[in-house]
């Protein structure tokens, strides 16, 4: 039995164990499993598209879940979205996204179009004197740092960074005494597209470059921002970077990267680099969103397809340990790691009036545990959902088995399941020469005693497997026998 090596559409299709195509399959430590379906959180849909969401943790361990639209900031209270906007509504823009950071007990939100906002409890309010900013991050040295700013003194400054006074997010007036200061990142062209903490550092990204910021003391200008040399690694957009535990996962213009503070490492050459560029929108690729699903140790990369009008309607999945890719296409407006409030038997009435009407989620799921972390996202109807439901249809297509010089027939096709699907059918695909279109060979074949008895002849053989249910697959085997030769 050949272990499944992973989804690698750019690889030589004759590599043993490669998947040339898949759908609703995500990698795990030993193979691939069917992607869970979405389950709606017990809350109404937002009034408009979600432009960013976060779970903020306060010093006492309590949490607040915020979600923003173009004109509003909301907090989830019980099952209700409470408007926490400052007086009136925000302006935003057709492109604005909310960036969040937590500074002690204070939650900070910024969208570049409106004044920077803060809330320690209740509604947000504008931070007087703070610049408008596309990105805000909280540094371990007790600073809030804003990137890609607009203010009364310097105007629109896409390459500017600006930090508040140390330990005081309300004071942004540059001063050696307080440590508040500002500067520009000009060693690489273009605007600052993303920024994220990395240990004691702050990494600022442009589309083709990254700067490693370190605090050096107010007397020395507070921060130094050397360019990481020898690479054009950068981030395509504001949410195209996520932290996977002391390492940044980055979607760049030309590749996906890992950066641990030393030198970026490319990930997709010969795997899915060319495929991604061909199957994502050149126009809207900057809207790509990366989210680390901690429970499954995977990164979900949501991106717009070539036919998209801007929505992130496709998703790649990267397993951080095995470095394998999968596909789980859902529409994501915004994503977050949802931290469950937990539930008791007495509290089940809040979810459904009867046992049969409860969400279709196993009782050992993190969904029911207080503090349990779940990957969640806002779908196309602005509804918050968690990826915890039973799996639906899924598909995989194997690589090619055969020989350039001899015609063969499939004697048997078998998949090793660690957890069997509810249903599975196989379709044989054949070609006489590698590189030619693979053509369907005959009728769809149902699984019989764990195997598929396909009947097809050709020089190269590929099998498409359509499945349903919560399956786990670790390997496959295409057994061939010679039928002709010369």
Contact 320, 349 (CB under 8 A): no
**Same domain as 6, residue 99:** no
Contact 109, 99 (CB under 8 A): yes
**Same domain as 463, residue 406:** yes
DSSP label of 274: H
Selected residue with higher pLDDT from 11 and 368: 11
Average pLDDT over residues 266-275: 97
- Domain of residue 466, CATH code: 2.60.120
**Same domain as 371, residue 476:** no
Q: Which long-range contacts (CB under 8 A, 24 or more apart) does 246-250 make?
A: 246/198, 246/199, 248/196, 248/198, 248/203, 249/290, 249/292, 249/299, 249/318, 249/320, 250/205, 250/290
Asked whether residue 135 carries a pLDDT value surpassing 50, the answer given is: yes
Average pLDDT over residues 459-470: 95
For residue 417, the cross-strand partners are 473
Range of the domain at 412: 2-28+393-484
Q: Which pLDDT value is given to residue 346? A: 44
Q: Which pLDDT value is given to residue 358? A: 45
List all residues 6 or more positions away from 439 whose beta carbon is below 8 Å from its beta carbon.
Answer: 429, 430, 431
Asked whether residue 439 carries a pLDDT value surpassing 90, the answer given is: no
What is residue 81's three-state secondary structure? Answer: strand
Asked whether residue 288 carries a pLDDT value surpassing 60, the answer given is: yes
Residue 320's pLDDT band (cuts 50, 70, 90): very high
**Same domain as 273, residue 152:** yes
List all residues 6 or more positions away from 252 whose beta carbon is below 8 Å from its beta carbon.
Answer: 207, 208, 232, 233, 234, 235, 236, 240
Q: Which pLDDT value is given to residue 373? A: 73
Structural domains counted in the chain: 2
Contact 324, 29 (CB under 8 A): no
**Same domain as 233, residue 148:** yes
Residue 232's pLDDT band (cuts 50, 70, 90): confident
Residue 23's pLDDT band (cuts 50, 70, 90): very high
pLDDT tens digit string along 187-228? 999 999 999 999 999 999 999 999 999 998 766 568 999 999
Helix then strand then coil, % of the chain, to nearest 5: 5, 45, 50
Two tokens, residue 191:
């605007």
Average pLDDT over residues 368-378: 70
**Same domain as 433, residue 313:** no
Q: How far apart are CA 313 and CA 319, in angstroms?
A: 20
Q: How far apart are CA 253 and CA 242, in angstroms?
A: 16
Two tokens, residue 119:
């809330």
Selected residue with higher pLDDT from 339 and 57: 57
Query: What is the share, in percent, of the chain residues with pLDDT greater than 90?
Result: 80
Across the chain, mean pLDDT equals 91
Number of H helices, E strands in the chain: 1, 43
**Same domain as 123, residue 186:** yes
**Same domain as 234, residue 289:** yes
Q: How far apart are CA 472 and CA 465, in angstroms?
A: 13
pLDDT tens digit string along 440-464? 887 899 998 888 999 889 999 999 9
Work out the angle at residue 456's Cα, subtended by the Cα atoms of residues 450 and 460, and round it to the nearest 5 degrees: 100
Contact 184, 210 (CB under 8 A): no
Q: Which pLDDT value is given to residue 443? A: 81
Determine phi and psi for 368, rounding to 5 degrees. Answer: -90, -5
**Same domain as 468, residue 332:** no
CA nearest to 66, candidates 455, 429, 461, 336: 336
**Same domain as 231, residue 177:** yes
Considering only 117-126, 237-246, 317-326, 342-351, which range has the smallest mean pLDDT? Answer: 342-351
Q: Which pLDDT value is given to residue 297? A: 96
Average pLDDT over residues 374-397: 96
Residue 349's pLDDT band (cuts 50, 70, 90): low
**Same domain as 401, residue 267:** no
**Same domain as 184, residue 279:** yes
Q: Which pLDDT value is given to residue 368? A: 41
Asked whether residue 363 carries a pLDDT value surpassing 80, the answer given is: no
Cα–Cα separations (whole angstroms), residue 302 to 37, 53, 316, 328, 484: 16, 15, 7, 9, 47
Q: Which pLDDT value is given to residue 353? A: 55
Q: Which pLDDT value is given to residue 340? A: 57
Selected residue with higher pLDDT from 456 and 365: 456
Average pLDDT over residues 143-150: 98
CA nearest to 28, candidates 232, 319, 281: 319
Asked whether residue 413 carries a pLDDT value surpassing 50, the answer given is: yes
Q: Which pLDDT value is given to residue 435? A: 87
- Domain of residue 267, CATH code: 2.130.10.10
């Amino acid at each position: 039995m050949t272990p499944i090596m992973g989804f690698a559409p750019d690889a030589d299709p004759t590599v043993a164990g490669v998947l040339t195509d898949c759908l609703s399959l995500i990698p795990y430590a030993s193979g691939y499993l069917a992607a869970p379906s979405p389950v709606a959180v017990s809350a109404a849909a937002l009034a408009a598209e979600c432009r960013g969401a976060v779970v903020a943790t306060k010093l006492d361990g309590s949490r607040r879940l915020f979600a923003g639209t173009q004109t509003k900031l909301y907090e989830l209270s019980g099952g209700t979205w409470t408007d926490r906007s400052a007086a009136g509504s925000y302006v935003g823009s057709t492109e604005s996204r909310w960036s969040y950071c937590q500074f002690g007990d204070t939650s900070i939100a910024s969208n570049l179009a409106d004044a920077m906002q803060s809330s320690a409890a209740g509604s947000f309010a504008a931070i007087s004197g703070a610049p408008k900013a596309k990105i805000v991050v909280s540094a371990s040295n007790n600073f809030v740092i804003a990137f890609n700013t607009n203010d009364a003194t310097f105007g629109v400054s896409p390459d500017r960074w600006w930090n508040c006074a140390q330990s005081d997010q309300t004071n942004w007036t540059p001063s050696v005494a307080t440590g508040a200061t500002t500067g520009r990142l000009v060693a690489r062209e273009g605007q600052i597209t993303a920024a994220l903490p990395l240990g004691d550092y702050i990494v600022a990204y442009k589309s083709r470059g990254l700067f490693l910021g370190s605090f050096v003391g107010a007397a020395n200008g507070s921060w130094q921002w050397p360019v990481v040399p020898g690479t054009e690694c950068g981030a395509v957009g504001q949410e195209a970077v996520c932290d996977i535990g002391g390492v940044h996962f980055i979607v760049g213009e030309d590749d996906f990267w890992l950066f641990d503070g030393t030198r970026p490492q490319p990930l997709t050459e010969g795997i899915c680099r060319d495929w991604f560029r061909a199957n994502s929108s050149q126009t809207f690729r900057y809207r790509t969103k990366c989210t680390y699903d901690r429970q499954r140790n995977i990164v979900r990369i949501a991106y717009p397809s070539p036919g998209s009008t801007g929505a992130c309607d496709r998703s790649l999945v990267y397993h951080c340990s095995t470095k394998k890719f999968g596909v789980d296409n859902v529409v994501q407006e915004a994503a977050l790691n949802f931290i469950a409030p937990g539930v008791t038997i007495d509290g089940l009435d809040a979810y459904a009036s009867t046992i049969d009407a409860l969400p279709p989620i196993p009782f050992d799921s993190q969904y029911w545990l207080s503090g349990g972390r779940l990957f969640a996202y806002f779908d196309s109807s602005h509804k918050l959902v968690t990826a915890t439901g039973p799996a639906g249809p899924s598909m995989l297509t194997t690589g090619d088995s055969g020989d350039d010089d001899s015609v063969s027939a499939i004697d048997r096709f078998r998949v090793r399941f660690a957890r069997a699907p509810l249903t599975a059918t196989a379709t044989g695909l054949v070609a006489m020469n590698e590189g030619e279109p693979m053509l369907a060979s005959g009728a769809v074949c149902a699984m019989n005693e764990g195997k598929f008895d396909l009947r097809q002849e050709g020089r190269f053989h590929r099998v498409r497997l359509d499945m349903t249910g919560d399956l786990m697959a670790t390997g496959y085997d295409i057994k061939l026998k010679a039928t002709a030769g010369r």
